[in-house]
């Protein structure tokens, strides 16, 4: 999916897990979204850091250690957009400032609380 075109992202998903039997009537898709959303915060990926409160994340300024970090961030953006389109819940909780940046809203001093 990482290199899929926009039209392909708009199509419905049919998820199957290797070596598992099951018909995707919504449950497999939900599980796939949950598993992938948890994986993107894996510390080994070096893409996100946990905020000081410990329950939200923000982009890791040192994510350049991942050679293809920009491609991965683009994929994550598309993945989150797909989840919104398909009304899927994700296990991804970003700091307030990150949401404000996505929505092109102005940041203020209180937005720094999550970082320190």
Domain segments of the chain as ranges: 6-10+23-114
pLDDT given for residue 18 in this prediction:
74
Radius of gyration of the CA atoms of the chain, in A? 16
Q: What is d(CA 82, CA 97) in angstroms, rounded to the nearest whole number?
A: 22
Query: For 6-10+23-114, which CATH class?
Result: alpha beta
- Could you read off the pLDDT of 90-99 as tens digits, one per residue? 888 889 888 8
Q: What is the pLDDT of residues 58-108, one digit of tens each?
A: 999 999 998 999 999 999 988 888 898 889 888 888 898 888 988 899 999
Pick from 99, 89, 13, 94: nearest CA to 47: 94
Q: Quote the pTM value.
A: 0.79
């Amino acid at each position: 999916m990482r290199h899929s075109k926009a039209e392909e992202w708009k199509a419905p998903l049919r998820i199957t897990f290797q070596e598992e039997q099951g018909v995707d009537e919504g449950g497999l898709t939900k599980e796939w979204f949950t598993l992938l959303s948890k994986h993107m915060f894996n510390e080994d990926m070096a893409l996100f850091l946990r905020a000081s409160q410990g329950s939200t994340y923000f982009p890791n300024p040192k994510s350049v250690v991942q050679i293809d970090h920009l491609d991965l961030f683009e994929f994550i953006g598309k993945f989150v957009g797909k989840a919104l389109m398909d009304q899927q819940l994700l296990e991804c909780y970003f700091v307030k400032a990150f949401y404000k940046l996505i929505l092109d809203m102005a940041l203020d001093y209180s937005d720094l609380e999550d970082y320190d």
